[in-house]
Structure 1
Amino acid sequence: MSSFDRVLVVDWSANATPKLGADSIWIGSAGAGAVPPQNIPTRRACMDVLRTEIAAACAAGQRMLVAFDIGFGFPRGFAAHLTGRAEALAVWDWLAERIKDDARNANNRFEVAAQINRLFPGTGPFWGRPNGHDLPDLPAKGTAREGHGLAELRDTEALCAGAHPMWKLYTTGSVGSQSLLGQAHLAALRAEFGDALSVWPMERREAPVVLVETYLSLIDPAVKQAQAGYACKDAAQVDLLARAFAKADMVQLMDVSAAPETLREEGWILGAGHAAHLLEVLEPAPLTPPRLRNDCFAMPQGVDWVPVDEALSRLRAALHPLTAEENVAVSQAGGRILSQDLVARRANPPAANSAVDGYGFAQTSLQGGGPYTLPLVAGRAAAGQPFEGAVSHGYTIRILTGAILPEGVDTVVLEEDCASDGARVAFDGPIKPRINTRKAGEDVVAGTSFLPAGRRLTPADLALASALGVGRVKVHRHLRVGVLSTGDELLADPNSDAQPHQIFDANRPMLLEIARKWGHRPVDLGHMPDDPERIAAALDNGARECDVILTSGGASAGDEDHVSHLLREKGNLSSWRIALKPGRPLALALWQGVPVLGLPGNPVAAFVCTLIFGRPALSLMAGCGWQEPQGFLVAAAFAKTKKPGRREYLRARLDAEGRAEVFASEGSGRISGLSWAEGLVELPDGAATIQPGTMVRYVPLSSFGL
């Protein structure tokens, strides 16, 4: 979309002294050679950086857009009255001859503004000054102005909510001070680069480098969401706006209907009136994945009993991720599933540094095999406090762990291996080059993918992403898993008085907690009696609130199996008879487009079916991919003879000798066996005879994510 290879966005500053951090100069970049936001302490240093960038772009044959958050022009009438020409660039040249702005940010902007005010009738138009500045022609408050004859805002500023007037020189929003200083610096830049540089929209000629005015608050909604991932709001603004301009339709942004004379004198804010487009290209509206096909669960005609592996294979083929994506701060992303690969915004480490406390030098300055004595330079290099100068050949410097290697240093000797009198350092040899140092990017290189889509983020992943400058990540929205219990025999409240024919609902709290442990968002759809209308209403509610529904009970073909009847009539039911013990029936259907997994009513069977089929199915629908449990072979501590035809899962745990012992009873009603077990023993589909010592496959519950 963008016609520029590289985009820079500059958050300018009118500080009178060098400053870093919030409310200082920041440069964001996008496109070719993009780097994390740069913080520059002075305007002079900022212009040096821009000169280097512009020269590099020209040498590489690239087109570059450089956007500044200063006003490029003043309201109509100002330029002509000041310079005799109704052109903003004439004001730039006028200011370049009078503005003084030294290498430490000391400047005369208030004096120049007072000089300008004297040339206009009445009082003003500029206003605002620090206490102690005795400038009678520059009022301290805007309300003290009168009769200067100029509008407060330019035409373009009327399209930008919250824009401050160009006449304001002091306190928050002092765009006037920024503009007076900025226009003077940009005039010098124009003179230096000549035809290689043009100013939009005052000059409509093609040039490799185009300077534009912008307004950082155009993308405030995106900045508010992303700010937590940046050093400060300013850093977020320049980075995000640079990325937006790099993706935006520049023909659309530069198609301005204002009169040519207005554009020549007042200029125009690039993006004014197009904030929605910038936000859209910066963060496109999340795409909602398609629903499952109505016939996705249908089994081929004539299929009766389905082996476990075939059932899993068919289920996997029928499903796809169901959740849209969200953009969240890394600090809030623990346990979330990446929807896109993560790419390093900076290297780790970002620069070559010392791995130890010691003394650094150039290895080539050592002659022979040692011992060596090198003179010690004044100062030191520490983490967060880099040495500003260069270390001369044949000299050494005190350096601490994590400190960036100063220019002239490529090797570090451990402090414990050195002797020093404060002026010299002595150590033995021989010394290998680059010992005790870390190369820039030796862990991760900037621009490389370091975590794949589909990964569930761990605490260690958050540390890695933060170290690599990734403040926000795109993740799948939590899969909303509804859980519905049915049956007249069930009581939802464990505190109620149960009759002999009634049992307490064990499945719903179990399934809700399983969904939570798996990182999904459980939705309690409650318990419904064997009433088709009430069950249908609960399923309707689940279709509105959930991405997938788990039901337990009523999934077979009996008179009171209302779930299966309803799903068959209205939900494209496919009842899979799986060759599995426990838990043969598995009802699969769509209710108003939402997948429904009908689990057996028996808690043990419901538990096993949820682990074997629910875990991989829900993981895939959540965007995490098909999750298969990892088991391993151990010796059996039990004996069992198994008939062919069904795969069996026994509740089990490891004894003190590492052998698999199984629960005393295989009865599906023995819920205590679920609490006792720490895993499952999986017995194959065919016949088997197990004796103590026979190797069996043991799958710990932790492998199922529990």
Structure 2
Amino acid sequence: MFDSFVMVDWSGGADRGPRPKKDAIWIGIAGRAAEYCRNRSVAEARLRELIAGELAEGRRVMVGFDFPFGYPAGFARAVCGEDDPLALWDWIGARLEDRGGESNRFDLAGEINRAVGDGQGPFWGNGLKREIAGLPRRKDGYRNPFPERRAVERLARGAFTCWQMSGAGSVGSQVLTGLPVLARLRKAVGAKVWPFEPLDGPVALVEIWPSLVLPPKAARDEIPDREQVTHVAERLAGMAPEVLAELLEVHAPEEGWILGVAQDGTTSPALRGLQPQALRNDCFALPAGVDWVPVDEALARLKGSLGVAVGTEVVPIGAAAGRIVAATIKAERANPPGANAAVDGWGFAHGGLPAPDAGGRIEMPMAEGRAAAGVPFDGAVPAGRVLRILTGALLPEGVDTVVLDEEVTTDGVQVAFSGLPRPRANTRKAGEDVAARDVLFEAGHRLRAPDVALIAATGVARVPVHRQLRVGVLSTGEEIVEPGTAAGAQHTYDANRPMLLAMAGGWGHAAVDLGRVGDDRDALRSALDEAEVDVILTSGGASAGDEDHLSALLREEGDLTAWRIALKPGRPLALGRWHGVPLFGLPGNPVAALVTAALFARPALEVLAGGRWLEPEGFAVPAAFEKRKKPGRREYLRARLGPAGVEVFASEGSGRISGLSWAGGLVELPDGALEVKRGDMVRFIPYAALGL
């Protein structure tokens, strides 16, 4: 639908000076660094320049602004005599005096209040030292003849009202200073305004609210506005056209709408496609009466509950390896881009070959010059002549077949070879590998080094990917101490945290060390609150739902459900949320923690990161051990391949951490009763298939 996405964080305040600052104007452009604008005049000029440049390249542009495009119902008619919000834009534009850093917005708000609201509303918040007739400084005694919020703001909880002119959340100043700019842009570049007009022009103006896409807590930039507008632009750029088209299917002819908020109001705020929804609200619930959960059922329930927890960005091809594709990647051009020689040799037109002599030998005169990779032959090769051609060289006009150097003799004037070659021998057709606009990879694929080679070979320089999932790992308990510190027999060195951090990093995520917290509920709350992550892994009995600080805190202020999985080792698995952040509570035993993390956390994290559910690949090998198991639980034995088949660790004890290092994978024994004898085929899952 659109080729370029430009998103703007607006400001109704004063000139912010030459150096980038918070609460200024930021322009986010998909695939580029955000641009700082010190005031509104600079921003308007830069936007015109950007849009003109995109139009000159034949690209359609979506431009988003983070302030309301309309007021609550009834305001436009009361002010300018008609319901058309675009007429209101022009009315405000004719009266607002703005030098980019200073404006008469407070005076204009007072004028409107005196005309339509008896001087006590709808606007409030005089931010100047002098008094302004009709504009209250505070909301005390405030009377609003219009709705306090637009319909969309009643759905998008946290959105600010357009009537407040100063103080925290003063959207009113943004609107009064922003709408005149939109009115001028609309006329200057022929823009169409969503949702008031059909978007059938080269430029579309839309209303955005960056907090829908990137909640403030997730911002890692010292200037969150800079990160947010860039993130919105890249998120929209990576969105499938049909999804974007669905978002634009909104009817709000007077008040306008925020892109990404559903209009039916059945959910709150129902962000169709913009804000990642990591987990369904009912994802942890088990059917009534269910106690022990089979492994396959637990995996299926977990798989069905997950969604993407991260946004998107565009990265250079050199930084794309290991990242998860966020939108379909298509070849920019064919590979190879033109028909070329597959070998070093001599090229000619097959139809111009002379008849072989009695001995089957063909002789042909040489054409002057040669063709090499990157240095094409200038001209056409006459019929009946041969041209020296090197591997990768474009086939010039008059050449469709090549014979190998090794098959040719030459005296410097003529070449000779035996046997009639087949037509188009030793040549490559244009696009025989990949055609232009072929789909290379769909969303959800994690890119490998060979994938990067294919993408680069087809001319793609920047790749839409999901942001790396930030996986926080937290240890709890008074008995846990750091390796290398003095410890008594009552202490346990923390093996789980470094192991889980290494696992998360090896799976392609950004592993974040959340440290260790003792049995202190306030300290635990602080650690969870301060965790700037997308998902949390904990280990230990508390995480599995025992009545201690972590489980109690999660039940009181988050949510926590413990699953008892029919699995050995690692029966307990806790699933929860802390203020919306998914949390996996793994068993405290390192052997059980590794098994449950590899089987449950790994595929779940991949989906949360924007990828596809991962099924570990195993293969059948003869057993070099004997084992009898009872029905009821699936078992995973530490194992490695040996000369007689797959061997298992000498002890099944979960406390034997050395067995994790000894092993090269796991033997999976099914849920039912089983007797394994030497030579029987069993399923072996190598560590590599678990990302270890």
So what's the TM-score if we normalise by structure 1?
0.62
Partners of 1:600 and 1:240 in 2: how far apart?
A: 57
Partners of 1:282 and 1:532 in 2: how far apart?
A: 39
Question: Given the alignment, which residue of 386, 410, 434 partners 1:444?
Answer: 434
Closer, same or farther in 2 for the Cα pair 1:622/1:282, shift >3 Å?
Answer: closer
Closer, same or farther in 2 for the Cα pair 1:291/1:223, shift >3 Å?
Answer: closer
Alignment of 1:435 with 2:425, yes or no, is yes
Contact persistence 1:481–1:523 (CA under 8 A): yes
Superposition deviation, residue 409 in structure 1: 0.5
After TM superposition, the structure 1 = structure 2 runs for residues 526-675 of structure 1, keeping only pairs within 5 Å, are: 526-542=515-531, 545-553=532-540, 554-559=542-547, 561-657=548-644, 659-675=645-661
Superposition deviation, residue 342 in structure 1: 1.4
Larger-gyration structure (1/2): 1
Could you give the per-residue CA deviations for residues 412-455 of structure 1, whole angstroms, max 9, x where no partner exists? 11112112222222222212100010100111111100222212
Q: Partner letter of residue 440 of structure 1?
A: A
Partners of 1:381 and 1:567 in 2: how far apart?
A: 71
Superposition deviation, residue 246 in structure 1: 2.5
Q: Which runs of 5+ in 1 are unaligned?
A: 3-29, 32-218, 227-236, 259-269
Counterpart in the other structure of 2:318: 331
Contact persistence 2:326–2:443 (CA under 8 A): yes
Helix, strand or coil at the partner of 2:512 = strand
Partners of 2:52 and 2:339 in 1: how far apart?
A: 25
Superposition deviation, residue 556 in structure 1: 3.9
Partners of 2:576 and 2:505 in 1: how far apart?
A: 23
Helix, strand or coil at the partner of 1:246 = coil
Counterpart in the other structure of 1:321: 308
Alignment of 1:425 with 2:377, yes or no, is no
Alignment of 1:350 with 2:337, yes or no, is yes
Counterpart in the other structure of 1:70: none
Superposition deviation, residue 402 in structure 1: 0.6
Closer, same or farther in 2 for the Cα pair 1:630/1:249, shift >3 Å?
Answer: closer
Could you give the per-residue CA deviations for residues 470-529 of structure 1, whole angstroms, max 9, x where no partner exists? 0000011001101011111110x2121111111111100000000000000011111111
Superposition deviation, residue 646 in structure 1: 0.6
Counterpart in the other structure of 1:288: 275
Contact persistence 2:364–2:385 (CA under 8 A): yes
Closer, same or farther in 2 for the Cα pair 1:431/1:340, shift >3 Å?
Answer: same
Q: Partner letter of residue 629 of structure 2?
A: K
So what's the TM-score if we normalise by structure 2?
0.63
Closer, same or farther in 2 for the Cα pair 1:272/1:433, shift >3 Å?
Answer: closer
Superposition deviation, residue 704 in structure 1: 0.4
Closer, same or farther in 2 for the Cα pair 1:345/1:688, shift >3 Å?
Answer: same
After TM superposition, the structure 1 = structure 2 runs for residues 77-476 of structure 1, keeping only pairs within 5 Å, are: 241=54, 245-248=58-61, 256=187, 284=236, 287-369=274-356, 370-476=360-466
Superposition deviation, residue 558 in structure 1: 4.0
Contact persistence 2:283–2:301 (CA under 8 A): no
Contact persistence 2:625–2:676 (CA under 8 A): yes
Closer, same or farther in 2 for the Cα pair 1:257/1:462, shift >3 Å?
Answer: closer
Counterpart in the other structure of 1:518: 507
Q: Partner letter of residue 312 of structure 1?
A: L
Superposition deviation, residue 689 in structure 1: 1.0
Partners of 1:356 and 1:327 in 2: how far apart?
A: 38
Q: Partner letter of residue 555 of structure 1?
A: S
Superposition deviation, residue 241 in structure 1: 3.6
Partners of 1:579 and 1:347 in 2: how far apart?
A: 52
Superposition deviation, residue 313 in structure 1: 0.3
Partners of 1:276 and 1:592 in 2: how far apart?
A: 28
Contact persistence 1:374–1:395 (CA under 8 A): yes
Partners of 2:494 and 2:234 in 1: how far apart?
A: 48
Helix, strand or coil at the partner of 2:367 = strand
Question: Given the alignment, which residue of 682, 685, 689 partners 1:696?
Answer: 682
Partners of 1:325 and 1:304 in 2: how far apart?
A: 39
Helix, strand or coil at the partner of 2:592 = helix
Partners of 2:477 and 2:650 in 1: how far apart?
A: 29
Superposition deviation, residue 366 in structure 1: 1.4
Partners of 1:651 and 1:448 in 2: how far apart?
A: 44
Superposition deviation, residue 283 in structure 1: 7.5
Between stretches 270-279 and 605-614, larger displacement belongs to 270-279
Question: Given the alignment, which residue of 474, 487, 501 partners 2:477?
Answer: 487
Superposition deviation, residue 285 in structure 1: 6.8
Q: Partner letter of residue 524 of structure 1?
A: D
Q: Partner letter of residue 569 of structure 2?
A: P
Superposition deviation, residue 536 in structure 1: 2.0
Could you give the per-residue CA deviations for residues 162-210 of structure 1, whole angstroms, max 9, x where no partner exists? xxxxxxxxxxxxxxxxxxxxxxxxxxxxxxxxxxxxxxxxxxxxxxxxx
Partners of 2:514 and 2:618 in 1: how far apart?
A: 33
Superposition deviation, residue 248 in structure 1: 2.6
Superposition deviation, residue 649 in structure 1: 0.7
Partners of 1:687 and 1:239 in 2: how far apart?
A: 72
Superposition deviation, residue 603 in structure 1: 0.9
Q: Partner letter of residue 584 of structure 2?
A: L
Q: Partner letter of residue 506 of structure 2?
A: K
Contact persistence 1:652–1:680 (CA under 8 A): yes
Counterpart in the other structure of 1:202: none
Superposition deviation, residue 292 in structure 1: 2.2
Counterpart in the other structure of 1:502: 491
Give the number of aligned pairs: 467
Contact persistence 1:619–1:626 (CA under 8 A): yes
Contact persistence 1:552–1:598 (CA under 8 A): yes
Contact persistence 2:278–2:608 (CA under 8 A): no
Could you give the per-residue CA deviations for residues 303-345 of structure 1, whole angstroms, max 9, x where no partner exists? 1000000000000011111111110000011111111121000
Closer, same or farther in 2 for the Cα pair 1:471/1:252, shift >3 Å?
Answer: farther
Closer, same or farther in 2 for the Cα pair 1:605/1:240, shift >3 Å?
Answer: farther
Q: Partner letter of residue 526 of structure 1?
A: G
Contact persistence 1:240–1:282 (CA under 8 A): no
Partners of 2:628 and 2:617 in 1: how far apart?
A: 25
Contact persistence 2:30–2:233 (CA under 8 A): no
Partners of 2:603 and 2:672 in 1: how far apart?
A: 24
Could you give the per-residue CA deviations for residues 16-53 of structure 1, whole angstroms, max 9, x where no partner exists? xxxxxxxxxxxxxx89xxxxxxxxxxxxxxxxxxxxxx
Closer, same or farther in 2 for the Cα pair 1:595/1:275, shift >3 Å?
Answer: closer
Closer, same or farther in 2 for the Cα pair 1:601/1:324, shift >3 Å?
Answer: same
Hey, which bits of structure 1, 4+ residues long, moved more than 6 A?
237-240, 249-254, 270-283
Superposition deviation, residue 660 in structure 1: 1.2
Partners of 1:615 and 1:570 in 2: how far apart?
A: 26
Counterpart in the other structure of 1:36: none
Report % sequence identity.
55
Contact persistence 1:650–1:681 (CA under 8 A): yes
Closer, same or farther in 2 for the Cα pair 1:463/1:238, shift >3 Å?
Answer: farther
Helix, strand or coil at the partner of 2:236 = coil
Counterpart in the other structure of 2:23: none
Counterpart in the other structure of 1:196: none
Could you give the per-residue CA deviations for residues 217-241 of structure 1, whole angstroms, max 9, x where no partner exists? xx99667569xxxxxxxxxx99994
Partners of 1:556 and 1:381 in 2: how far apart?
A: 70
Partners of 2:203 and 2:683 in 1: how far apart?
A: 65
